[in-house]
Structure 1
Amino acid sequence: MFYYEIYLPINILKEFYYCSPLEIPEGVRVLVSFNRKDMIGICGTRFESAPEKDIRYKQIIEVLDQQPLIDSQLMSLAKWMGEYYYCSTGTACFAMLPAWLIPDIQAEVRWVADDIPEKYKELANAFSEGQAQKVSELRKKLKGKPVLQWVEKATEEGYLELNRKLSPKDKPKTVNYIHIIDKTVDPNSLPSKQKEALQLIYAKSKEEFPLAEISRDVSYSVVHALERKGIISIFPRKIEREFFRFETSGLKKVVTLNEEQERAIQEILQHKGHFQVHLLYGITGSGKTEVYIPIIRSYIQEGKGVIFLIPEIALTPQMVERFQAEFGDILAISHSQLSDRQRLEQWQRIAKGECRLVIGARSAIFSPMPNLGLIIVDEEHEQSYKQENNPRYNGRDVAVMRGKISDAQVILGSATPSLESWYNQKKGKYLLHCLNSRPLDIKLPQVQIVSLCEDYSQQMFSDELISAISFRLERKEQVILFQNRRGFSSYMQCLKCGELIKCPNCDISMYYHRDREEMQCHYCGNTYPSPRKCPQCGSYSFVYGSPGTQKVEQTLRILFPQARILRLDSDSARQQDIYKIMFRRMKDKEVDILLGTQMISKGLDFPEVTLVGIVNADISLNIPDFRAAERTFQLCTQVAGRSGRADKEGEVIIQTYNPRHYAIIYASKQDFPGFAEEELSHRRHLYYPPYYRLARILFQSADNNLLQEEMDELSQKVKNLLNTFPQGEIFLLGPVPAPFTKMKNLYRWHLIIKGRTTQSIKKAINTVLNEYKISSTIHYTIDIDPTTLM
């Protein structure tokens, strides 16, 4: 009998052991019984004898795979993640696998083939003719047989039809089609708009086609009028969802590299073949992508694999377009718009070695890439690399660790590196490569800081910004405006009694969305109709808070009625393919002013954009978080870099109430080294990262009184914790109420731990959890290296 540690998808920090007479490889899926339920786990370390002699071990019920799904390198990474991020190894393992590889034991299956292969005879005989069976029922009928393995293989081979719960993206898409009924109608006999529509329809030279093919040129009401006249019919049709890709011309871009780019490529390739982290710092528009491509090509030519991480695939269409044109079929794309089935197909292609390059968001770091040689993390400073639920990992840091485990090179690229990465290169852990100029002698845009303090009219746009926009519109050039707040306004307050419309779940002011006439909480998503009168005193007079993108858009349409304006934020992004639409319309010069949140702050390279306006640079500066200045600098610098990226001179106008703040001043100069030096001096004195490591324990409970009692008791106990460390080794802040004291009907307190080393952080957390027992009614989460303390 062999004994195995099994990693389960539950976040309990302890080991679970099972036995089996079989020799099972590490990294395969197994079926076990846990807490009276059958559960899929990942097989871990094997033991020749029982880990503890006096315990009766449950047997592994079924082995699902012959070969490991998680190889030894990824298994090492999962174990490191479990230890470092305080999550179970099982949680880390299952974060690496597509959801489609987790069998649904309660799903129904039906035998649909006419023939029965010998290998599936027992399985087929368990079905009543034409009847569906639950997988759990089949397992009862075929005890001791590898039922889950059979079901999975037979479904792949088309013998079984599996009816499992599908995510919305896996369900067929319903599309309206046009069917031409009467081709004899003379378009000239119809009103002008119907005439144009019918000519377009006849020009299609096919009797049925998707309505979307003509929707850009014809309104639905006109098409509907043709249907009422019996010329056409409109009907819905279910179609399989297409694999989401950006359109590409397929033509490789011819690029002439400058001296700095050539030097960076040579210096990085000198370390080819073994682990080394490189920090590629280049000002906005300096051509970091042109450095990446020849390095990637060099690795692919040697048969090695490359993983390329970007913060959000949908926000960087130009990057994807470029890579598709450059590398074609060997490129796999991993992103949020893929269905579960498509994720599985991409995962399998990567595992088989059919794709040598993967481009995707943070979870792409877990791609089963054989012979991995290079990992690139573009815009490495981005907060979106941090996973906010279990396992709470940072994609950039996991990339560095995977590079170390796989002996692969790692490149971190940014125009505004995180201070942690900048500090690591100063300490010699990372190698620095600088791109300080734009190719073809393209100059950085001129930046003007406009103080809003002297403008008592409280108008949204300064005279300078209005004048600059008008000038660009006259010259038929494009403008990007940045306002990092969505909705119409940040709050709605009664003028008579002062009542603030708050979220009942979160005790936070709700945002007003005028387009939907809704109040929405941007933390729990709760919505309800905006009130016509104050719920407290009945008054009809309200005052509105700081403007969001909807209010900015409304004002723009009043000031510039002839301008073609496109708004891009997470509200408008609900429209399907909005990123592709924006990209195409900006390229085709169908948009004069692009307005948006941080979605437009990176990855956009439009030669006709000659003005960038930052409507209010202080939104991120006033957040009660030690990273506020760093985020403000990064956002302002990144947005400013969208201007003047071709031969036309660019301009940036930054509107602010803090014109003398160092983050604003350094951003206006695109001076990252100067900002980093000043910000690091503040961090050093306050014992914040990168000089100290940070951890946060967040305590939550529906009972505020119980939580406060427990936190008061914990507060007394943790004072003794400091005495167990050398002076200055750790600092404790709290426990205190979190800045958002109530969220999703849970009250929140947190304890912040600053530690000089990872080991001291770990010792402090273990002491809090082991020695100071927290009530079972209080839920706690541990966040290592948190990106926000809100």
Structure 2
Amino acid sequence: MSNKNNNNRILKVAIPVALIDCFDYSAVDNLPKNPIGCRVLVPFNNRQLIAVVIATSSTSKYKDTLKPIIKFLDDSPFFSSDLLKLSKWANDYYAYFYGMTLNQIMPGFYRQGKDESQLWQTIYYVNKTTKTLPAKAHKMQQVLNLISQNPTTGISHNNLIQNIKSCTAILKKLKEQNFIKSDACLPVIQKSKITDFAKKLNPEQQVIYDNIQQDLNNFTVHLIDGITGSGKTEIYLQLIDKILQQQKQVLILVPEIGLTPQLVQRFSSRFATEIITMHSGLNQTIRATGYLQTKQNKAKIIIGTRSAIWCQFKNLGMIIVDEEHDSSFKQQSKFLYHARDLSVVIAKNNNIPIILGSATSSMESYLNCQSKKYNYHLLKTRATKTLPPRVTISALNNLKLYEGFASSTLTKICEHLRQNNQVLIYINRRGFAPKYMCFECGEIKTCRHCSATMTYHKAINRLRCHFCNALADIKDICEKCGSHNIGVVGLGSEKIDNVINDSYPAYKSVRVDRDTTANKGQLEQKLNQITTGDCKILIGTQMLAKGHHFPKLSLVVIMDADRGLFGTDFRSIEHMSQEIIQVAGRSGREGKQGEVLIQTMQPKNQIWDQLFGSSYFDLIYSYIKIRTQHSLPPITSQILIRAKSKNAKFADNFLEIFKNNIPHDLKQQIRILGPAPAPMEKIANLYRFNLVILCHKNISLASFKKWVLHYMANNKYAKKLSWSIDVDAVNS
């Protein structure tokens, strides 16, 4: 609908470029009734860019030189006022350029200038008619019969061609002869049949459910701190049921794509409602369709990874963030937002409850509970009344190992397999071996583009860099000393898979890592093999560490458990603790008590007593004391300024000059560390340097962030390298 008499003919437009200011353009004649939030095509320098109208005005100081927009891409706002408000707040907090922020949170389908009509599908219905088809028109009758089986809902063109190939011409004839009619609409979300029902909550679960249920119509933040297998998901399900009864939508965030299949299966068996998934593994058309289905209130339960927070909800009633501690909720490129933290903002803006759940809750959430910003709920026992798994620390010192396994470990695996149970061998490193080394001079093959060692992949018989994906051929001679005494060192999931297949040929195994789940459907297939018990031995990386429920799994073996003990990041020990507790929790979730075996060269390290001799609550507070002593996040606020360049000295000098240019009044509020090389100094031919900014939590960094953004946008040297501002960084 046009609005030709609108006096606000100047459009304030956010363009996806690294500039702070928005740009003024003059409007075209067919101005939509409400242009704010609409996508527009605009001329910018020598390009045409898709931008977003964020305001209108009747005047502009550039009025005489304004360019007109080329055209509106929407008849009504693409971005709602609520989403514009949220994105602006997030843009300012995470210090980014608004036009680029809006561009990044827009699904890729819409970034190409496409409109929602391209997502519609054709639905065919049978027309009431007394006519009959000719006796020999067998295929036409076959198509007509198939359409007749769905008199109310009709049948989509895609479903028809899946059942009857080459039927497009027949459909055209049937329509011309008035046997059928067609309509265009969004794909219908299929509802599943209920096969699972609410379980009786134990006393601990019931108390938590009752407390949260009282707040279903208000903004509250609830942290459910429950050990693995304590029944957090059952509480989620019963609360979701209450929200659905109010005809509202629910958003469930998970950290990784790998957790969505099991959740979808469980939710689909409980609720006969419209459930969709939103994650990067879906193609652009499916994601755009889900985005629109959510916007139109056709999707009631949305299960997704971090980008799902940018969906536009018609009637959002509750948000659940599962595994809230996971660093995957933090975006690591371009607009560096944290989905968990923004979910709290969304809940507050919508006056709805949000539930954060984890067996290894984050320090940030614990501190928010301590300050009474969040409500704390503890689940200390497993829902099935099964005892937590028995933990054995297996010292590898002075032992002769078989391909990384102690003989006692191999015996223990055999015991569990003979009892018809499943065993998980956990190693958080894919590939066959992490190093290719000369045993004469000690030279280790590194990537020529990165500071990383190259990993040997036996399936392709080549070395691969896990940072830039570069490949290198295997050579039987050392490039440094000429020795032929050269080979692989260490363990990866691919090697473990080979060892297990050789050691236990009678038992079927499955390996789950990025290499074996790269193709569509592979992850779901492997998870199904595990759940049904078809595979007895599981070999996996962190993709299997959290969130999964494998009823027949009784033993977890953790290989290379010491890896996180000596990390360069101050968060290393926290992340290692979370990883081990999570993967240990996959054992013995139903029936009898499970077992965890940890292979280590550091059996006397106090970390093992802290992990399994006390509660995670006590462990995390011991870490908080250390952070407090050294004024490290989350006790303090942190901003990480990164610079990347092909010239290491240029990146280092750039940050040094930047540091020296920080105004005196802003310097007084902060502590500056660096610049210094990043822990992984070089990736993809770019040298990486960091400058760390720390300050007290009570001090607002808004002025400093604004200054940094202006400095970067206007500094000529900033255009000669890659830089980023990472607010509340989780990785170095």
Q: What is the TM-score normalised by the length of structure 2? A: 0.84
**Structure 2 residue 386 is the aligned partner of structure 1 residue 445:** no
Q: 2:10: which partner in 1?
A: 3
Within the candidate set 46, 56, 62, 2:56 is matched to 46
**Structure 2 residue 726 is the aligned partner of structure 1 residue 780:** no
CA distance in 1, matches of 2:306, 2:696: 27
CA distance in 2, matches of 1:348, 1:747: 41
After TM superposition, give the deviation of residue 154 of structure 1 in Å.
8.2
| Inter-CA distance 253–660: structure 2 relative to 1 (3 Å threshold) | farther
Q: Superposition pairs for residues 302-317 of structure 1, below 5 Å?
A: 302-317=246-261
8 Å CA contact 1:519–1:530 kept in 2: the answer is yes
After TM superposition, give the deviation of residue 639 of structure 1 in Å.
0.5
Q: 1:76: which partner in 2?
A: 85
8 Å CA contact 2:476–2:486 kept in 1: the answer is no
Q: 2:518: which partner in 1?
A: 574
Moved more, 429-438 or 95-104: 95-104
8 Å CA contact 2:223–2:355 kept in 1: the answer is yes
Moved more, 243-252 or 524-533: 243-252
Instruction: String of CA shifts for 1:765-789, please: whole Å, max 9, x gaps.
Output: 4555656956232221111111111
CA distance in 2, matches of 1:662, 1:545: 28
Q: Superposition pairs for residues 616-765 of structure 1, below 5 Å?
A: 616-669=560-613, 671-714=615-658, 717=660, 724-726=666-668, 729-757=669-697, 760-765=700-705
Q: 1:95: which partner in 2?
A: 104
Within the candidate set 89, 95, 105, 1:86 is matched to 95
Q: 2:329: which partner in 1?
A: 385
Q: 2:44: which partner in 1?
A: 34
Instruction: String of CA shifts for 1:59-109, please: whole Å, max 9, x gaps.
Output: 2221222221211111111101110111222233233332222345xxxxx
After TM superposition, give the deviation of residue 300 of structure 1 in Å.
1.4
Within the candidate set 54, 61, 67, 1:58 is matched to 67
Letter of the 1:739 partner, please give it.
P
Equivalent residues, number? 658
After TM superposition, give the deviation of residue 336 of structure 1 in Å.
2.9
8 Å CA contact 1:659–1:665 kept in 2: the answer is no
Q: 1:603: which partner in 2?
A: 547
Q: How well do the aligned residues superpose, as a CA RMSD in angstroms?
A: 2.8
Letter of the 2:493 partner, please give it.
T
- Structure 2: which 5+ runs fail to align? 1-7, 123-162, 166-186
SS of equivalent to 2:364: helix
CA distance in 1, matches of 2:398, 2:621: 31
After TM superposition, give the deviation of residue 622 of structure 1 in Å.
2.7
Instruction: String of CA shifts for 1:89-146, please: whole Å, max 9, x gaps.
Output: 2233233332222345xxxxxxxxxxxxxxxxxxxxxxxxxxxxxxxxxxxxxxxxxx
Q: 2:3: which partner in 1?
A: none
Letter of the 2:51 partner, please give it.
G
After TM superposition, give the deviation of residue 708 of structure 1 in Å.
4.1
Q: 2:140: which partner in 1?
A: none
CA distance in 2, matches of 1:385, 1:758: 24
Q: What is the TM-score normalised by the length of structure 1? A: 0.78
8 Å CA contact 1:633–1:666 kept in 2: the answer is no
Instruction: Indicate the percent of aligned positions where both proteins have the same amino acid.
Output: 31
Q: Superposition pairs for residues 324-335 of structure 1, below 5 Å?
A: 324-335=268-279
CA distance in 2, matches of 1:458, 1:55: 80
Q: Superposition pairs for residues 263-278 of structure 1, below 5 Å?
A: 263-278=207-222
SS of equivalent to 1:584: helix
Letter of the 2:36 partner, please give it.
E
Q: Superposition pairs for residues 140-219 of structure 1, below 5 Å?
A: 153=117
Instruction: String of CA shifts for 1:591-623, please: whole Å, max 9, x gaps.
Output: 121011000011222221111111121223332
8 Å CA contact 1:663–1:675 kept in 2: the answer is no
After TM superposition, give the deviation of residue 250 of structure 1 in Å.
4.5
Q: 1:117: which partner in 2?
A: none
Q: 1:18: which partner in 2?
A: 25
8 Å CA contact 2:331–2:337 kept in 1: the answer is yes
Letter of the 2:727 partner, please give it.
I
**Structure 2 residue 540 is the aligned partner of structure 1 residue 533:** no
| Inter-CA distance 766–575: structure 2 relative to 1 (3 Å threshold) | closer
CA distance in 2, matches of 1:443, 1:60: 66
Q: 1:565: which partner in 2?
A: 509
SS of equivalent to 1:13: coil
After TM superposition, give the deviation of residue 54 of structure 1 in Å.
7.0
Moved more, 86-95 or 595-604: 86-95
CA distance in 2, matches of 1:386, 1:506: 23
After TM superposition, give the deviation of residue 456 of structure 1 in Å.
6.2
8 Å CA contact 2:652–2:675 kept in 1: the answer is no
| Inter-CA distance 694–250: structure 2 relative to 1 (3 Å threshold) | same
Q: Superposition pairs for residues 423-442 of structure 1, below 5 Å?
A: 423-442=367-386
SS of equivalent to 2:272: helix
Q: 1:517: which partner in 2?
A: 461
CA distance in 2, matches of 1:693, 1:246: 45
CA distance in 1, matches of 2:327, 2:256: 11
After TM superposition, give the deviation of residue 721 of structure 1 in Å.
5.7
After TM superposition, give the deviation of residue 5 of structure 1 in Å.
2.0
| Inter-CA distance 2–509: structure 2 relative to 1 (3 Å threshold) | same
| Inter-CA distance 443–630: structure 2 relative to 1 (3 Å threshold) | same
CA distance in 2, matches of 1:383, 1:483: 19
Q: Superposition pairs for residues 240-319 of structure 1, below 5 Å?
A: 250-319=194-263
After TM superposition, give the deviation of residue 443 of structure 1 in Å.
1.3
Q: 1:113: which partner in 2?
A: none
SS of equivalent to 1:649: coil
CA distance in 2, matches of 1:751, 1:57: 40
Letter of the 1:310 partner, please give it.
V
After TM superposition, give the deviation of residue 542 of structure 1 in Å.
1.5
After TM superposition, give the deviation of residue 671 of structure 1 in Å.
1.8
Instruction: String of CA shifts for 1:230-267, please: whole Å, max 9, x gaps.
Output: xxxxxxxxxxxxx9999987512451211111111110
Q: 2:529: which partner in 1?
A: 585
8 Å CA contact 1:611–1:643 kept in 2: the answer is yes
8 Å CA contact 2:666–2:704 kept in 1: the answer is no
SS of equivalent to 1:66: coil
Q: 2:499: which partner in 1?
A: 555
After TM superposition, give the deviation of residue 509 of structure 1 in Å.
1.2
| Inter-CA distance 782–774: structure 2 relative to 1 (3 Å threshold) | farther
